[in-house]
Amino acid sequence: MAATPYDVLIVGSGASGGMAAYTLARKGINCLMLDAGPPVDFQRDRALKAVYDLPYRGFDKPGRLPHVLQANEFNANVWADETQNPYTYEPGNDFNWVRVRLVGGKSLFWARMSFRLSDYEFKAKDHDGYGDNWPISYADLKPYYDQVEPIFRVAGRKEGWPQLPDGVFLEDQSPDSLCVQKFKAAAAKQSIPVTKMRRATGQGQLASSLNLLLPDALATGKLTIVSNAVASRVTTDKITGLANGVTFIDRHSRRELHARARVVILGASCLESTRLLLNSGIANSSGVLGHYLFDQFYITQTVQAVMPEACGGKATRAMIGGGGYIPRFRNLNTRAKDFIRGYALDFGTGGTPSPDRLPGYGSSLEEKLAHYKGAGLSATTMGEVLPRYDNFVSIDPSAVDAWGIPALHFQARYSDNEFNMARDAVNTLEEVCHDAGFEVLSKTDKMFPPGYSIHELGTCRMGDDPKTSVLNKWNQSHDVKNIFVVDGSSFVTGGSQNPTMTILSLSMRASEYLAEQMRSGSL
Amino acid sequence: MPPLNGMAGALDAQAPEFLDFLIGISPAPRQQFYRDGLELLDARSREKFGQIFASLSATQAAEILRPLDEPWTHDPPADPLARFLRDAHLDIRRATQNSRPAMASAPSTGRRPGGIGLYWLPIDPIV
Ligand SMILES: Cc1cc2nc3c(=O)[nH]c(=O)nc-3n(C[C@H](O)[C@H](O)[C@H](O)COP(=O)(O)OP(=O)(O)OC[C@H]3O[C@@H](n4cnc5c(N)ncnc54)[C@H](O)[C@@H]3O)c2cc1C
């Protein structure tokens, strides 16, 4: 492999790396892709089982994945093993770093909620004076969103809202249940917009690089995928300072190998790409590599409510069911009292409230659950987290992974802006529920620890000034011109929208730029 | 979790034995939480009724379990017994519902307790 002259070496086969391969291979560029994980076979690797046949009755092995709150005993084997892939953080300031190390990455399991960012994010500083603008605007990325959405077959409803630009959707014309209509009407009284969820439908509910990107790239004959290849550092030429390849370790044999290429693209996921650069000791003349770590704070079941008319076994399909999405509505044309930016809400109706949050036990609890069956509404708050220099990752010299590669140390905490925003979210939602005539059973404004949303962003941010950013507006390293970082680490702000459509669009845009640079001989 | 409407209860589901096993292999803080909680349960029962929890009548037990009737709050209750009861109650409920007897006794219509799902086998694990 070392002798094969690849044009481009891509680290990571998830959404970001997959899109780079898709774009470049179809332009005739010879790509090598390394992924730390094994390939997945949905037939071979899954089996139907009853929960009582699992060794821990669905509780999973205690202590196995303490930071993956999304894990259960059915899916525990898909998450990166926390013992083999350790990381550290300050005691009391947990970070829930949720990783998938398989060919296809997290795109195998994502919830497929698909949104565009707007200039409220790209030009956030112009709007409220905080932080930095991106070096690009919505108009720069729009043509790429327009191409990505049809590949992922995103369904949604067009609304014409400036804070949540419409896309190239499969039009969702499904009717709203009475419960959703009531909720929408109550929200409208407070000028809160509600739309259908926007979701990638992919093929057979799988909208992954594995089925939507990599097959087309492989079909060109221009892509070679090496699985079980754990990249440890990017190597550079001593004379030119340019990257000349990547050192990696075979996951099973632990043998160290090296692959050469003219250009290196990192799409190992936000924090893994940053870790690779930090461990390589490059691309950090700005000193901001690792800094400005942010995500979106999540509060699941912010409010649990029931629709009284649907209680007592009266819930019908026409009455209750389906859900919706409330995009950011704060700080657009008015100013909230004690926070900047905003939050989004994703709600569902027609479920049964969770027994965890209801008082009672034994027969009294079971009676309540039977009464509320199918009559519930519950919502998740997804709030913008301000990018701050003080939230960062660095290399922890005392911790290494199973392959001897130095691990990350996290320093991340939320601030009053996020806490105040969360309070506003729960109060507003409760009010809307009351206005709609629903009974609120439980509410909380307590968010999960940072990382829980699995939308970690920043740490390798883009900008026009090489003194304050790691990448330029093409996702290209300011310092080492033949390194591109195409995952969420390039984000300058994240808004409250789930990030993957933006990651995919940025990766496509950067790859097209790279292809043009290679064609013209500039790289 | 008593047997209700023909569904298996916690004892039919051998939930106590299962939880004994589960807590026995859990990280030390969880084991301590259970140990302290169970001791507190007996201490509170003795204080109020002069006997350990297992010997109480249903009415007496209900008195000790009253914290479970309080409305849910995100932060765990300040009273350590209330905290323990909240966690243990959910564990017992889940251990019961996810058991073979509970599933076998579930009504044929409606939700299956525990249920059947797609289980991911270990994928090319490191040996
Ligand atoms: C359960 C879940 C639900 C989600 N829901 C949504 C949603 O609804 N909407 C949304 O927008 N986003 C969602 N996300 C987030 C979304 O999945 C990610 O934003 C996106 O997949 C990130 O893609 P990526 O390519 O940057 O990273 P990844 O998908 O993590 O891919 C990185 C790849 O790099 C490989 N890798 C890592 N380190 C190395 C190394 N050292 N050497 C070689 N290879 C390496 C990994 O094996 C992996 O395959 C969700 C995620 C999860 C897990």
Rounded to whole angstroms, the Cα distance separating A504 from A426 reads 32
Q: Is A101 in the pocket of ligand 1 (CB under 6 A)?
A: yes
The gap from C-alpha A462 to its chain's centroid, in whole angstroms, comes to: 18
Check whether B25 has a pLDDT greater than 80.
yes
CA distance A194 to A72: 31
Q: Is the CB of A132 under 6 A from ligand 1?
A: no
- Residue-level pLDDT at A245: 98
Q: What pLDDT band is residue B113 in, cutting at 50, 70 and 90? A: very low
Q: Do A52 and B114 touch (CB under 8 A)?
A: yes
Q: With 80 as the cut, is the pLDDT of residue A497 above it?
A: yes
In chain A, residues 168-227 whose CB comes closer than 8 Å to chain B: none
Q: Is A52 on the interface with B (CB under 8 A)?
A: yes
B118 domain-assigned: no
Within an 8 Å CB–CB cutoff, is residue A63 touching chain B?
yes
Give the minimum alpha-carbon distance from B50 to chain A in angstroms, rounded to a whole number. Answer: 24
Residue B96 within a domain:
yes
pLDDT of residue B111: 45
Confidence bin at A337 (pLDDT 50/70/90): very high
In a domain, residue B30? The reply is yes
Question: Can you read off the two tokens belonging to residue A175?
Answer: 């009717």
Of A57, A61, A63, the CB nearest to B18: A57
Flag whether pLDDT at B112 surpasses 50.
no
| Residue numbers of the domain that contains B92 | 15-109
Atom of ligand 1 nearest to the CA of A35: 44
Q: Six-digit token pair at B67? A: 């914290």
Contact A74 B120 (CB under 8 A): yes
The answer to whether position B32 is within a domain reads yes
Place of tokens 């550092």: A233
> Does ligand 1 come within 6 angstroms of the Cβ of A208?
no
Mean pLDDT, range A395-412, rounded to an integer: 97
The ipTM (two decimal places) reads: 0.93
**How many pairs of residues across A and B have Cβ atoms under 8 Å apart?**
117
pLDDT classification of B5: cutoffs 50, 70, 90: confident
Instruction: Report residue B104's pLDDT band, with 50, 70 and 90 as the boundaries.
Output: confident
Residue B92 lies in a domain: yes
Q: Report, as an integer, the average pLDDT of A292-300.
A: 98
Name the burial class of residue A437, with classes exposed (0-12), middle (13-18) and buried (19+) by CB atoms within 10 angstroms of its CB.
middle
Domains held by chain B: number: 1
The nearest CA of chain B is from the CA of A222 a distance in Å of 26
* A43 in contact with B, Cβ within 8 Å: no
For chain B, say whether A369 makes contact (Cβ under 8 Å).
Answer: no
Residues in CB range of A432: below 8 A, 6 or more apart = A183, A186, A187, A190, A192
Q: Is the beta carbon of A457 within 6 A of some atom in ligand 1?
A: no
A474-499 burial, b if ≥16 CB within 10 A, otherwise e? bbbbbbbbbbbbbbbbbbbbbbbbbb
Q: Is A76 on the interface with B (CB under 8 A)?
A: yes
Least confident of A18-22, A325-329, A519-523: A519-523
Tell me the chain B residues in contact with residue A252 when contact means C-beta distances shorter than 8 Å.
126-127
Domains of chain A: 6-41+89-520 (3.50.50.60)
* Residue B65: inside a domain: yes
Position B77 in a domain: yes
Which pLDDT value is given to residue A138? 98
What is the mean pLDDT of the segment spanning A281-297?
98
CB A97 within 8 Å of CB A274: no
User: What 3-state class would DSSP assign to A133?
Assistant: coil
Strand partners, A266: A11, A485
Contact of B119 with chain A, judged by CB distance below 8 Å, is answered with: yes
For chain A, give the longest Cα–Cα distance: 76
